[in-house]
Structure 1
Amino acid sequence: MRRARASTRREPTIALINVVFLMLVFFMVAGTLAQPLEQGMNLVRTVELEGRSPPDALVIRADGTLTYRGSEITSPAAYLPRREDTASPDVRLVPDRDLPARDLVRIARELRAAGAGRVMVVTERGLQ
């Protein structure tokens, strides 16, 4: 009788790669990706400050009226001739929180059609 050859079965390395990948994902999620604040450092509190729009921004109220530096604007296209600084200026919009999104999109499209470069929406950002 011949002795049966012991089969040399290799372990698949795919399982090892999967485990290492899952560990990598776990530590990326569980770990801190940003540097923490230094010990004893407190951020500035701006709760009591009065909010003001940037001086070159087009303000849109909740009812859809447009104002620029305190004066009312009749249409988004009428805002651009007041800006002579560049051929296709970047426009900053400061919308009211209660302004419907469809009105904001409509006004941004009208500004782009009138020759605005980029249309940027200025929002409030808070740290939690």
Structure 2
Amino acid sequence: MIRRPRRSKAEPTIALINIVFLMLIFFMISGTLARPLDPSLKLIDTADLEGRAPPDALVVHADGRLSYEGRDVATPAAHVETLAEGERREIRIVPDRALPAETLVEIARALRAAGAERVMIVTERGLE
């Protein structure tokens, strides 16, 4: 009798890699698919509208000056102090387009240091 050489059991790593790869593709596709807009839908043209900040947002002008509800604010910490405890949870900033990024980061850090739990930057978003 001839003895066959014993084959070592193959590890199921290839099958595991295939399953993980298929799951990756599934989640990539399902995460990026969105229902298309109705072709008959005409979006609003906002080119001629005057941009206004939300009423509860801290406005940062191009020169770094701060204002809230039309009144000037001396410092980010002074703004946080004037807010009620519940309003300090989330502070919105509306920066001017010409404001340097370094200034915006400094103001956001100052707001966090003064007690703001979350600082949100309001920006313009367009659908094209």
Taking structure 2 as the reference length, the TM-score comes to 0.72
Measured against aligned partners, the alpha-carbon deviations of 1:19-64 in whole angstroms (never above 9, x if no partner) come to: 23223323433x3434413654636334333321011111001110
Q: Could you say what secondary structure the match of 1:92 adopts? A: strand
The 1:87/1:19 distance shift into structure 2, 3 A limit, reads: closer
Distance in 2 separating the partners of 1:7 and 1:41: 68
The 1:20/1:43 distance shift into structure 2, 3 A limit, reads: farther
Amino acid at match of 1:105: V
Computed over aligned residues only, the root mean square deviation of the Cα atoms, in angstroms, reads 2.8
The 1:91/1:41 distance shift into structure 2, 3 A limit, reads: same
Q: Is the 8 A contact 1:88 1:117 kept in 2?
A: no
Structure-1 residue corresponding to 2:113: 113
Q: Could you say what secondary structure the match of 1:55 adopts? A: coil
Distance in 2 separating the partners of 1:3 and 1:43: 80
Where in structure 2 are there 5+ consecutive unaligned residues? none
Structure-2 residue corresponding to 1:93: 93
Aligned length: 125
Structure-1 residue corresponding to 2:18: 19
Amino acid at match of 1:86: E
Measured against aligned partners, the alpha-carbon deviations of 1:77-121 in whole angstroms (never above 9, x if no partner) come to: 3323443x3366232111112212221122223223334343222
Where in structure 1 are there 5+ consecutive unaligned residues? none
Q: Is the 8 A contact 1:58 1:91 kept in 2?
A: yes
Structure-1 residue corresponding to 2:44: 45
Distance in 1 separating the partners of 2:124 and 2:24: 32
Taking structure 1 as the reference length, the TM-score comes to 0.72
Greater helix share, structure number: 2
Q: Tell which deviates more after alignment, 11-20 or 37-46.
A: 37-46
Distance in 2 separating the partners of 1:112 and 1:118: 7
Structure-2 residue corresponding to 1:36: 35
